[in-house]
């Protein structure tokens, strides 16, 4: 039985190992330096330029703004006058394809909404249907003789929503309901807070 012993030069084995370890230990030094620099620069204060945002918000075109009014309307059982309360007035960015239709005069049984300036002079107004009166339509009769029937229902409470193009001179909203003779039977004034 013969045993072969092969001797290796120790230097030849250690050279690649040394090169590899030197390379491995050299990289973490670079990584540590990079980490240190990133920490230093991330801790420096960042200044934001807020002047651009302030200028753009102050220079918004009022034609690109919408005023939205939401009112709660209640049928009064004790008096003949309906009452209403303001739920929300908001002014938001947006564009309406069509603005509210102007109203030349009051219409009996309808609501009139008017936008007023600081001196309570009229800017624009519109007529609104009574939200407490709802009209339903249904079909009656047999197959040969079908008819549409219209029924008017009176609600105890309802929500009234109006959207219009905003104007910076709008300072108040006047809402009036007219009686059967065309005279105001209920009126309420709300201030617009910007």
Q: What is the pLDDT of residues 123-162, one digit of tens each?
A: 999 988 888 888 888 788 777 777 888 888 888 888 888 9
What is the C-alpha separation between 133 and 124, in angstroms, rounded? 25
pLDDT tens profile 29-47: 666 676 666 677 666 555 5
pLDDT band at 57 (very low <50, low <70, confident <90, very high): very low
Enumerate residues 6+ apart whose C-beta is below 8 A from 80: 185
CA distance 194 to 13: 82
78 token code pair = 């004790």
Q: Between residues 6 and 31, which one has the greater pLDDT?
A: 31
With a cut of 90, say whether residue 171 has pLDDT above it. yes
E strand intervals along 14-110: 65-74, 83-93
Query: Which is nearest to 161 in space by CA: 86, 75, 65, 64?
Result: 86
**What DSSP element (H or E) covers 17?**
helix 10-42
* Interatomic CA distance for residues 162 and 160, integer angstroms: 7
Cα–Cα distances (Å) from 183 to 47, 69, 107, 127, 176, in that order, read 61, 24, 9, 14, 9
Lowest mean pLDDT among 89-93, 118-122, 149-153, 183-187: 183-187
Distance of CA 103 to the CA centre of its chain: 28
Closest CA to 161 of 63, 98, 90: 90
pTM above 0.85, yes or no: no
């Amino acid at each position: 039985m013969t045993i072969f012993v092969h001797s290796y030069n120790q230097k030849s084995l250690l050279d690649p190992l040394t090169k590899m370890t030197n390379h491995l230990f050299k990289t973490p030094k670079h990584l540590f330096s990079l980490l240190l620099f990133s920490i230093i620069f991330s801790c420096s204060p960042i200044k934001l330029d807020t002047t651009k945002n302030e200028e753009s918000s102050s220079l918004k075109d009022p034609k690109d703004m919408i005023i939205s009014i939401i009112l709660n309307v209640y049928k009064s059982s004790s008096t003949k006058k309906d009452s209403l309360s303001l739920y929300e007035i908001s002014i938001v960015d947006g564009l309406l394809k069509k603005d509210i239709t102007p109203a030349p005069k009051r219409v009996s049984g309808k609501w009139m909404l008017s936008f007023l300036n600081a001196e309570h002079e009229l800017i624009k107004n519109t007529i609104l249907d009574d939200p407490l009166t709802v009209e339903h339509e249904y079909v009656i009769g047999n197959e040969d003789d079908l008819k549409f029937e219209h029924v008017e229902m009176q609600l105890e409470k309802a929500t009234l929503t109006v959207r219009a193009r905003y104007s910076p001179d709008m300072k108040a909203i006047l809402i009036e309901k007219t009686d059967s003779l065309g005279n105001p039977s209920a009126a309420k004034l709300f201030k617009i807070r910007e």
